[in-house]
Amino acid sequence: MELRSPLGRVRGLGAAKEGGTAQWWAQRMTAIALVPLTVWFVISAISMVGADYAQFRAWAGAHGNPVLLIMLTVAVYHHGHLGMQVIIEDYIHHEAARFTALILVKLAAVFLAIYTIFSVAKLTFGG
Amino acid sequence: MASGDRPLSPHLQVYRPQITSILSILHRMTGVGLWAGALLMTYWIASATYGPEAFAQAQSILGSWFGRLVLLGLTVAMFYHLGNGIRHMAWDIGWGYEMKTLTLTGWALLVFTLVMTLLTFLAGYWVAGAF
């Protein structure tokens, strides 16, 4: 007879062992952050239709815009990575292909995020 | 029984398409598509770090008919994914699982996507001085 409760038996196994809830939570946290950030970015992008270099530099370096751009960048690539990871794990059953895809997506997300943050910093401080 | 021989569920090929299932797979498809949006955002911002000519080129590529077509698709995908993301948040707190509510919020999502995309492009053309 099994005396342990069903909860006790699954604790520390499966998703809970692999930190699955942390990823689930991070996907929701970045989603919540992305709601106002993407709305702000769309409005900003509309205001930059037809803008020249000087107008873009003035916008990109103004007030809180660099901070919001960096927050958007982090949230976009973190959320995008978590989403792609779930899709890859669901649909790519060949083990080597799955691991290759997971590694490539993670490296791409990290590289693109750092490159974008560096670009925002350069536009802000680069004169 | 070898697990590899088991039929996979759900049997998509015998399922009648429903608004719930169509909208669900569209959430993933728009999510993947929005990676192109992220890449374009990075390209747009990074281009300015290479000087006025590079930024002007980025602006003209994004403003070309093909650029605008891509941005239209990305705008649809973005508002769809945003709206459906809010539906997902409602489900996460346990709201909206009744069939009637699911269908209603599903159609509301499609209307929201269409209206927000139209408003965004009208605003864009207005800034461009089209009217």
Q: Which residue has the higher pLDDT, A63 or A36?
A: A36
Residue of B nearest to A58 (CA): B48
Residue A22: DSSP 8-state: H
3-state secondary structure at position A62 = coil
Query: Is the pLDDT at A13 greater than 60, yes or no?
Result: yes
Note whether A123 contacts B49, CB cutoff 8 Å: yes
Instruction: Say whether residue A82 is in contact with chain B using an 8 A CB cutoff.
Output: no
Amino acid A63: pLDDT: 85
Q: Which of B42, B88, B118 to mutate to test the interface with A (most CBs of A within 10 A)?
A: B42
Query: Which tens digits make up the pLDDT trace of B37-89?
Result: 999 999 999 999 999 999 999 999 999 999 999 999 999 999 999 999 999 99
Note whether B42 contacts A112, CB cutoff 8 Å: yes
Supply φ then ψ for residue B2, to 5 degrees.
-70, 125
> For residues B96 and B94, what is the distance between their CA atoms, to the nearest angstrom?
7
Q: Which residues between 3 and 32 in chain A have a beta carbon less than 8 angstroms from any beta carbon of chain B?
A: 28, 31-32
Q: Measured between beta carbons, which residues in chain B are less than 8 angstroms from residue A126?
A: 49
pTM for this structure?
A: 0.89
